[in-house]
């Protein structure tokens, strides 16, 4: 089961898809805020949801060799969204802990927290959301 975590190609594909989703999240949030005039929190939330949908579809089509268009489902996205929310909680916890326990500049704290969040997302996605059958 954990052997899937050591698949370097899979990790690279997962990272590439995640970057695309992040860019879509960012662009969508800007559109919702600047072109549609939505409040920043609403625009940011909409971007986050759109990015997660794009990531979920991308991970099915690109990141994992045993998945594809046939494995895309609403239930699968809900599982993925849960994983993303968990990874966000890890990010926020890391920021809070590092802020309290260290004197590191915020940009370093944020880089560490984003890294912890990304690893959490990859592990949960690989071992649960997109788990290889058998």
**pLDDT for 4 beyond 80:** no
For residue 88, pLDDT over 70 is answered with: yes
Q: What is the band of 3 on the pLDDT scale with cuts at 50, 70, 90?
A: low
How high is the mean pLDDT of the chain?
93
Report pLDDT digits (tens) over 99-128. 999 999 999 999 999 999 999 999 999 999
C-alpha 25: how far from chain center: 10
Of residues 17 and 5, which shows the higher confidence score? 17
Cβ within 8 Å of residue 125, ≥6 positions away = 14, 59, 63, 80, 83
Q: Shortest CA distance to 43 belongs to which of 34, 52, 55?
A: 34
């Amino acid at each position: 089961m954990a052997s899937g975590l050591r698949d370097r190609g899979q990790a690279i594909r997962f990272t590439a898809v995640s970057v695309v989703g992040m860019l879509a999240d960012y662009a969508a949030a800007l559109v919702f805020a600047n072109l549609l005039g939505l409040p920043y929190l609403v625009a940011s939330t909409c971007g986050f949801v759109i990015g997660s949908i794009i990531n979920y579809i991308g991970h099915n089509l690109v990141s994992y060799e045993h998945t594809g268009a046939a494995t895309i489902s609403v239930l699968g996205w809900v599982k993925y969204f849960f994983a993303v929310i968990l990874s966000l909680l890890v990010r926020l916890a890391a920021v809070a802990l590092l802020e309290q326990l260290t004197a590191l500049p915020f940009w370093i704290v944020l880089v560490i927290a984003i890294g912890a969040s990304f690893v959490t997302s990859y592990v949960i996605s690989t071992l649960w959301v997109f788990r290889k059958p058998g």
